[in-house]
Chain A
């Protein structure tokens, strides 16, 4: 059971009781999903909770899984619904100060320490602040595009919006981030 198998096949194998398939699938998707959630909620505790709940939902519904779309699309759709349903609405968006704290808590490789690469760090910080400043829908579309590598069609499937709407959201997000860098 290795990379030769697509996410979809691994999911089907796990639905048939193959635990190794799940391990492989989890290893593939854990980082992407976690970052998508963390950057959506900007709260590590909530992100952990949502991350676990997302996998729990996936495990519970494995019997109903059908290969109708990319596995990552299905996984992100579950996470998106959870974010929309509760946690995100219950908590106000993290402000810039909280974002600074989160950024400071993140592990950064030694060769990327701010004091060493201050300009690059400043760029990343600006990017993070720009993301946090985006409206929720635009940020989500941007994260799905950049972090999860989804195309317009898949983002539309995850978010339940039309493709043109998604494209418009991405356009606005792209413009605002560029604008932030231009300051």
Chain B
């Protein structure tokens, strides 16, 4: 056996853990070990680390991101709920303003852009539009001087654009509601339109307008159409106006219609344009929602629709909402003006042939 072969055999035995001579010799070398002090230091280190329990700490810290995320979500939701309504309101207003702009940009041929804004007062132009749409001739001549396309008048149709949205079934439903309310109460309807109960002072201040209306019938209709538009503009511009802003302010104060048995509206309301600015307060109510807002909202589109669909009347009450008109008819009856009441009711029936009259007026001839 050569030296190389012997070497290889010894080396293989060394590698294969067989009891080689070299390994046996190595094991006879001194076997130093760490001293007790070093052992104590290492064991103490291990105990300190275990006491710190970083695993438990890691377990605890594992939840931190999840908890942080949950907190952020909750915070965002809270902020959203707090800010959201105002943002939505702004958006609604933006959409409304857009629709106003779209509607207010009158086509060159349009003579009365403000028609449906105040349904009862703007009957002429509204009717004109309605009849023009139908290809029919308007039974009443248009105002001699159609309203100038002023910013105020052009902006006025805002509520109309907003109110034109309800569908026929919705309008029917609103009519039905108001009629039910009228049937239930001795003094029906007015609580649905508390804004018409203008304070005496305001009524007085509104009376000059009424006088002007009486003086010039044609201009009165235009003025009637403009008056609520002014109110709307002023409300939008946050510039309060004595006569026009008062009902709106009152509406804000009475956010929910109080079940007050409203007194019969004085006759001055029949010609005064002051009570008409119902639409502006209605503009603000959608955000509050609820049945009260619905009851306030409902008559407007219904009246607007009715105003478009019905011919004009010379009865001064024709400028009022149907419920107010009926209330005035009752007032006439109370004042023993039965003939006048009957005439007015006849006019009413002419204008609102589909209106379901309350029981107390149904038999009046």
Contact = CB atoms under 8 A, between A and B. Distances in A.
A38 interface: yes
B54 interface: yes
Given A34-B32, A127-B25, A167 B15 contact: yes
Contacts of B14: 145, 170, 174
B25 A14 contact: no
A75 interface: no
Contact of B22 (A35, A107, A128, A178): A178
B43 A26 contact: yes
B82 interface: no
A176 to B, nearest CB: 11
Nearest to A17: B50
B165 interface: no
Contacts of B53: 17
Nearest to B48: A59
A104 to B, nearest CB: 10
A171 B11 CA distance: 7
A90 interface: no
Interface string A112-141: 100000001001100110000000000000
A59 B43 contact: no
Given A52-B38, A56-B45, A59-B45, A103 B30 contact: yes
A175 B7 contact: yes
Given A31-B31, A52-B41, A16 B46 contact: no
Contact of A59 (B28, B38, B46): B46
Main secondary structure of the interface of B (DSSP, over half): helix
Main secondary structure of the interface of A (DSSP, over half): helix
Interface size class of B (residues with CB under 8 A): 20 to 34
A19 to B, nearest CB: 5
A48 B38 contact: yes
A48 to B, nearest CB: 6
B38 A127 contact: no
B22 A177 contact: yes
Interface stretch (A66-74, A81-89, A146-154): A146-154
B58 interface: yes
Contacts of A62: 49
A28 to B, nearest CB: 12
Interface of A: 14-17, 19, 22-23, 26, 30-31, 34-35, 38, 44, 48, 51-52, 55-56, 59-60, 62-63, 103, 106-108, 112, 120, 123-124, 127-128, 145-147, 149, 151-152, 167, 170-171, 174-175, 177-178
7 contacts: A15-B55, A26-B42, A34-B32, A51-B38, A59-B45, A124-B28, A124-B29
